[in-house]
Amino acid sequence: MESKPPFPPFDEESAKLKVRLAEDGWNTRDPERVSLAYSVDTRWRNRAEFANGREEVVAFLRRKWARELDYRLIKELWAYTGNRIAVRFAYEWHDDANNWYRSYGNENWEFNEAGLMTHRHASINDLPIKEADRKYHWPLGRRPDDHPGLSDLGF
Domains of the chain as residue ranges with CATH: 12-136 (3.10.450.50)
CA distance 63 to 71: 13
How many residues in the chain?
155
CA angle at 107 for the pair 105 and 113, rounded to the nearest 5°: 160
Average pLDDT of the residues in 115-143: 98
b/e 40-52 (16+ beta carbons within 10 angstroms → b): eebbbebeeeebe
Tens digit of each residue's pLDDT (9 = 90 or more) over 29-58: 999 999 999 999 999 999 999 999 999 999
User: Which pLDDT does position 1 carry in this prediction?
Assistant: 72
